[in-house]
Amino acid sequence: MRRRKALKIVALAALAPKLDAWGTSACPPGEAWTPSDYQLRFFTAEENELVDQLTEMIIPADPHSPGAHAARVSLFADLMVASSNDAIQKQWRAGLKQMQEEATQSSLAQALAKSALHEGRPATDLERFFAVLKGMTIDGYYTSAIGIHQDLQYQGNTYLSAFPGCTLRVRSAQSGVPSPKSEVS
């Protein structure tokens, strides 16, 4: 499974319950958040630039759709962290500082790769910060117009007069041969 596809699956699973909560807590009722008129609330300009670079490395632009930079995920992260409690804000400040320190020893790409090494079982503060950063990147990207409409190609609540079904045949795990019982339709 490709990384972008895995990120889509995770984002879709997390998307529905979070959209309403973010919409009501981050913006006044009836007003939508737009990056064009957003002013930084938590990150400094330098921190925002760092977050922008890191999130673009996590979800880069590809031939299918723009990446996290174009979706302005760093501004989304700023909004979420600014409306979080002190512990979360301290975690972000410390994590960004650690990422910068690590990058001075090599490069930002290598620092990000090092922080992701033990993603399944993070042991250091930097590795734990990577998990938080990656989650924020996924949430921000797949709740943006670019992530939803261009990458996921969500068309909205459209009516289908007929459902074409799936023609994929599932192979038996033992024989590798398609099984008529496992055919999905």
- Closest CA relative to residue 32, chosen from 19, 13, 42: 19
Burial class from Cβ neighbours inside 10 Å (0-12, 13-18, 19+) for residue 132 reads middle
Q: How high does pLDDT run on average in the chain? A: 80
At residue 144 the predicted structure's pLDDT band, cuts being 50, 70 and 90, is confident
According to the model, what pLDDT value does residue 17 have?
47
**pLDDT digits over 28-60, tens only?**
544 445 667 889 999 999 999 999 999 999 999
According to the model, what pLDDT value does residue 143 have?
87
According to the model, what pLDDT value does residue 16 have?
43
How much is the average pLDDT of 155-162?
75
| Predicted TM-score of the model (pTM) | 0.68
More confident residue, 9 or 144: 144
The residue extents of the domains of the chain are: 3-159
**pLDDT digits over 58-79, tens only?**
999 999 889 999 999 999 999 9
According to the model, what pLDDT value does residue 29 have?
47
CA distance 172 to 177: 6
